Amino acid sequence: MIKLTTNHGVIALELNAEKAPKTVANFLAYVEAGHYDNTVFHRVIKNFMIQGGGFEPNMNQKPCQAPIENEAANGLKNKRGSIAMARTNDPHSATAQFFINTVDNDFLDFKSPSGQGWGYCVFGEVVEGMDVVDKIRAVATGNKGFHQDVPKEDVIIEKAEIV
């Protein structure tokens, strides 16, 4: 289990190494390296998802390891409470940033192994602390630099650890 200690409370995650082995190994490597400590949820959209794991509180982007293969075809769904990898337009470009779905987002699921159809790889789910996720999704947001939907007051992951 993964424990994310945030300044809004603790979120506990169960990862699915059977369905998303590469994605889980990648996420665990970042946790073990301390990458997520003192990062923020920098993109919060109430009825969509909360995204984090890539920026420090001052919106400095942290350096990442090599991108990973997209395992979105594993059958796991982007339903409320699931955790998935963020990425660029390139389907196989996920590095450290992840998001927790705050509603069912079927349109993010894998459809076909091409362009838009790849979807976003779910690799686990929130097992405790969904109330904390709901608190975070409700914070006030605005623009910061070139980023939109950034919480006005930092939502910080103080520590990410394997428990």
Partner 1 sequence: MILFISDLHLSPRSPGATALFLRFLAGRARQAQALYILGDLFEAWVGDDDIDDPYHARIVAALRAAADAGVQISLLHGNRDFLLGQGFAAAAGIRLLPDPYDLALPEWSFVLSHGDALCLDDTAYQAFRARVRTPEWQARMLARPRFLRRLVARWMRWRSRARQQAMNNPPYADLQGAATDDFLRDHGYVTFIHGHTHQPAKHDHIVDGIHVERWVLADWHEDRGECLVWDGAALQREAIVAENRP
- In whole angstroms, the minimum distance from the beta carbon of 30 to partner 1 comes to 13
Is the CB of 88 or the CB of 112 nearer to partner 1?
Answer: 88
Distance CA 41, CA 106 (A): 22
Q: In the 8-state DSSP scheme, what is residue 10?
A: E
We find the least distance from the C-beta atom of residue 94 to partner 1, in angstroms, to be: 7
We find the least distance from the C-beta atom of residue 8 to partner 1, in angstroms, to be: 21
3-state secondary structure of 99: strand
CA dist 52 and 149 (Å) reads 12
User: Using a CB cutoff of 8 Å and minimum separation of 24, what contacts does 112-120 make?
Assistant: 113/73, 115/91, 118/70, 118/72, 118/91, 119/70, 119/72, 119/78, 120/72, 120/78, 120/84, 120/85, 120/86, 120/87
Query: What minimum distance in Å lies between the beta carbon of 154 and partner 1?
Result: 18
Give the residue carrying structure tokens 């796991």. Answer: 76
Work out how close the CB of 163 gets to partner 1 at its nearest, in angstroms, rounded to a whole number: 26
Binding site for partner 1 (CB under 8 A): 43, 48-49, 51, 54, 61, 78, 84, 86-90, 93-95, 97, 99, 105, 108, 120, 146
Do residues 53 and 98 touch, judged by C-beta distance below 8 A? Answer: yes
